[in-house]
Amino acid sequence: MRDTDDHHWLKQGSTSSADVKKTYDDWAAGYDDSMAGWDYRAPNQAAAYLSAEMPPSSCILDAGCGTGLTGAALRAAGFTGPIDGIDLSPPSLELAKKLSVYRALDVADLQVLPLPIADDSYDALICIGVMTYVSDTEGVLREFARITRSGGRVLVTQRDDLFHSRAYGQTFKALADVFSDITTTNPQPYLPGNPDFGAAIKVIYAMLTVA
């Protein structure tokens, strides 16, 4: 099992699906404790942002749901409709299943498109702490728009350093045909208790409205 006291691999943010799967398969049992120790705030903050935009009965896809922290946060924020989850890591999905907040949980790789999901399947889609590991930003956001109904919301996070180095601003302009509105937050605390992130690496939330 990977030593989760060695945080450098997390900061590097590999876009190899095989490497990411191995990391999260090995880390699944200790993931929630690590996140709690690092004061991981993104699931609760994202759920609050989405609840301000969408009704409680919304049908939501949690893309990259991991062990279910975001699904649990959505329920705590008042969402009562169906929540489905997809993730690359089967051991993480097994832990998410135990929370009893998801209608369905399936293995999926966000770097293998299209996803096996029908058009217009969801009222909203949330993807938290995952885009670091996805190399084709435009491709996956177009896929998220495809499976989310018109007028729905897609909420994603990205580290502020990668938001700029991967030119998210330019990508958002290229997505004007599938998203009618895109708003982003100022950088927010991400993993303030992690020694490699701390105050140096923050997170940006992007709310995209499907055209």
> Where in the chain are the domains?
8-210
Instruction: Record the tokens describing residue 62, joined without a space.
Output: 């949690």
When pLDDT is cut at 50, 70 and 90, the band that residue 1 belongs to is: very low
Which pLDDT does position 124 carry in this prediction? 99
Question: CA 63 from chain center: how many Å?
Answer: 6
In this prediction the pTM is: 0.94
Let me know: does 83 contact 100? Beta carbons within 8 Å: no
User: For the CA atoms of 170, 173, 178, 179, what is the dihedral angle to 10 degrees?
Assistant: 110
CATH topology for 8-210 is Rossmann fold (3.40.50)
Per-residue pLDDT tens for 86-140? Answer: 999 999 999 999 999 999 999 999 999 999 999 999 999 999 999 999 999 999 9
Cβ contacts of 108 within 8 Å, gap of 6 or more: 63, 86, 87, 88, 115, 116
Per-residue pLDDT tens for 27-84? Answer: 999 999 999 999 999 999 999 999 999 999 999 999 999 999 999 999 999 999 999 9
Q: What share of the chain is helix, strand, coil (3-state, %, to 5)?
A: 35, 20, 40
